[in-house]
Structure 1
Amino acid sequence: MQYDPIKRSLGRVFNATPGLRVLFYRLLNLLLLRSWYIRRELKKWARSQGSMADILDAGSGFGQYSWFMSKLGRDFRILGVDVKEEQVEDCNRFFKLLGNGNRVTFQEADLTRFSNQASYDLVLSVDVMEHIEEDRKVFYNFFESLTPGGMLLISTPSDKGGSDAHHDHEGDGISGFIDEHVRDGYSPEDISEKLQEAGFENVECRYSYGIPGHISWKLTMKTPILLLNKSKVFFILLPFYYLLVWPFAYLLNFIDVRGHHKEGTGLLVKAFKPAAN
């Protein structure tokens, strides 16, 4: 399964005007369960942070989390980095149109090489680490880039089927729903050990996407993308599909984000750089 062609198609539709782009962000916030988790944690962090902050959006993609964080504090300065030049250019253009280009900027960067010494109060990484083989190097760069006492917030698939991966059994040719990941997912023990090795302390891991969330993901993400890959005609039917499934998905997301899951297909991770003595 390749997401990029679908992303490019959606980007062309919603980039027609700044208003459509904001609508796209709001739709992503409604539909994506990981956004429910991430936005809740960002709100908690912002309440304790004060009026000023420097933030790194590590793997900024469409820029939806940079946009959300820019609304949490008028003096929050945000740098989004991504390996895809076209997305960086697109985000810089969009935020300039919004009038936020002076405090929300984007640049092309490889996270295995990107480090700004003690520059950020928060580093956010959403659905990025499963794409990077040299994760230890990235975690070290995150640690170096944080100010003392700064927080790292990660959302990533777990090893409980987070990539919906399955191997090619008996020559059936099935390689998995998502074939862009270098690992199927992290266990809490694995990612905690790597973060502590990089220097982080107070590492907190919790499962997301329990049974309710996994069902919601199948309804709102997996099924539509499978259909869109079969035929672009489904773009026309997509709004009607979501009108039907959204009430159920909303309830499932609500239950999932408020529950405690012994297992789940996602991981939400917080880790802190030790405060200066």
Structure 2
Amino acid sequence: MDYDPVKDRLGRFFWTTPTRTKAFYRTLDAVFLRSWYVRRTLRRLVGARAGRPVRVLDAGTGFGQYAYWLVRTFPNVEVVAADVKDDYLRRAEAFVAQTPYAGRVTFERADLTQPLPHEEAFDLALSVDVMEHIEDDRAVFRNVRDALVPGGHLVVNTPSDQGGSGVSGAGEESFIGEHVRDGYAVDDLVEKLETAGLRVTDTDYTYGPVGSAAWRLLVKWPITMLNRSPLLTPLVGAYYLGAGPVGLALNAVDLRRDNDTGTGLLVTAQKPPRPTR
């Protein structure tokens, strides 16, 4: 199934006013369990800097919800939100321009497989559900490493090879047609990051059995309905009245579990600090 047409239809509706865009961001943060894990990790990493300025690269910003969340949550953060899609960037930039945070987010068109014009500029880089869309992932990791200051961190969230992208068996196709890989094995992702010159500090499985059930309830089934016909949109709204509270409760449970396996991966890596004399 191609996911982008559904995203684009939703975007055209929610980007019409700042109020709708904020509601859209809140919905994405609630429905997608990955956001719960990513925001928890960002709180830890930004909080460790004890109020010092933090420059963040949102590598593959998409709708821009993480860039907005960062500057709204942390007064010491500035973000460069990069993406290859001009229309997404224009919409996100137009929205942020109408908020009190306009001066703290810069939007840039960037192909992450090409060198970034920000050598050693960022304390933190973020890549949320981006790498499964990019064939040359090794180039991306090298470029992000070059953009980090020594000691800076990269947070990568992506589907795993344990059923990520809705693939549970050999021969099954990804639920998302735009993916170039169904998911990463932990060892594969760690090897690629470390070969790029980054040291992996944390690996966590997200979307364990409970979270995977929430994903089917909150994401897969509604998106499948929307993909069949936009006319089903009112039905999806009614569906969430019943399914939403159950799915959100499952998300909360998964976040508190130490999953032995899961359909998602959240990996944190660090660029080695400069040697001290």
Q: Aligning the two structures, in what range does the TM-score lie when normalised by the shorter sequence?
A: over 0.9
Give the aligned partner of residue 254 of structure 1.
252
CA RMSD of superposed structures (Å): 1.5
CA contact (8 A) 2:225 2:232 kept: yes
User: Which of the residues 216, 224, 240 maps onto 1:218?
Assistant: 216
Give the aligned partner of residue 7 of structure 1.
7
User: Structure 2 matches for 1:113-262, cutoff 5 A?
Assistant: 113-115=114-116, 116-165=118-167, 175-262=173-260
Provide the rounded CA distance (Å) in 2 between the counterparts of 1:37 and 1:114. 28
Provide the rounded CA distance (Å) in 1 between the counterparts of 2:65 and 2:236. 21
Give the aligned partner of residue 102 of structure 1.
103
Provide the rounded CA distance (Å) in 2 between the counterparts of 1:11 and 1:121. 30
SS at match of 1:125: strand
Distance 1:188 1:166, change over 3 A: closer
Provide the rounded CA distance (Å) in 1 between the counterparts of 2:183 and 2:228. 27
Give the aligned partner of residue 84 of structure 1.
85
The alignment's TM-score, normalised by the length of structure 2, stands at: 0.94
Query: Are 2:110 and 1:112 equivalent residues in the alignment?
Result: no
CA contact (8 A) 1:157 1:267 kept: yes
CA contact (8 A) 2:174 2:182 kept: no
SS at match of 2:184: coil
CA contact (8 A) 1:114 1:141 kept: yes
Provide the rounded CA distance (Å) in 1 between the counterparts of 2:9 and 2:159. 25
SS at match of 1:221: helix
Aligned-partner residue type, residue 98 of structure 2? L
Give the aligned partner of residue 37 of structure 1.
37
Distance 1:253 1:166, change over 3 A: closer
Aligned-partner residue type, residue 80 of structure 1? A
Give the aligned partner of residue 62 of structure 2.
61
Give the aligned partner of residue 26 of structure 2.
26
Structure 1 residue 167, shift from structure 2 partner = 8.2
Provide the rounded CA distance (Å) in 2 between the counterparts of 1:126 and 1:220. 18
CA contact (8 A) 1:213 1:252 kept: yes
**More displaced, 98-107 or 154-163?**
98-107
- Number of residue pairs matched? 273
Stretches of structure 2 lacking an aligned partner (at least 5 in a row): none
Provide the rounded CA distance (Å) in 1 between the counterparts of 2:269 and 2:135. 20
SS at match of 2:177: coil
SS at match of 1:112: coil
Structure 1 residue 45, shift from structure 2 partner = 1.4
Aligned-partner residue type, residue 59 of structure 1? G
Provide the rounded CA distance (Å) in 1 between the counterparts of 2:253 and 2:169. 31
Superimposed CA distance per residue, residues 124-165 of structure 1 (whole angstroms, 9 cap, x where no aligned partner)? 000000111111111111111101111100100001110123
Aligned-partner residue type, residue 199 of structure 1? G
Give the aligned partner of residue 262 of structure 2.
264
Identity of aligned residues (%): 44
Provide the rounded CA distance (Å) in 2 between the counterparts of 1:137 and 1:63. 23
Provide the rounded CA distance (Å) in 1 between the counterparts of 2:168 and 2:247. 25
Stretches of structure 1 lacking an aligned partner (at least 5 in a row): none
SS at match of 1:90: helix
SS at match of 1:71: helix
The alignment's TM-score, normalised by the length of structure 1, stands at: 0.94
Superimposed CA distance per residue, residues 171-221 of structure 1 (whole angstroms, 9 cap, x where no aligned partner)? xxx733212111111111011111111111143211110100101000111
Structure 1 residue 101, shift from structure 2 partner = 2.4
Provide the rounded CA distance (Å) in 2 between the counterparts of 1:210 and 1:189. 18
CA contact (8 A) 2:133 2:178 kept: yes
CA contact (8 A) 2:225 2:236 kept: no
Deviating 4+ runs (over 6 angstroms):
none
Structure 1 residue 246, shift from structure 2 partner = 1.4
Provide the rounded CA distance (Å) in 2 between the counterparts of 1:273 and 1:209. 27
Aligned-partner residue type, residue 59 of structure 2? A
Provide the rounded CA distance (Å) in 1 between the counterparts of 2:122 and 2:34. 23
Aligned-partner residue type, residue 72 of structure 1? T
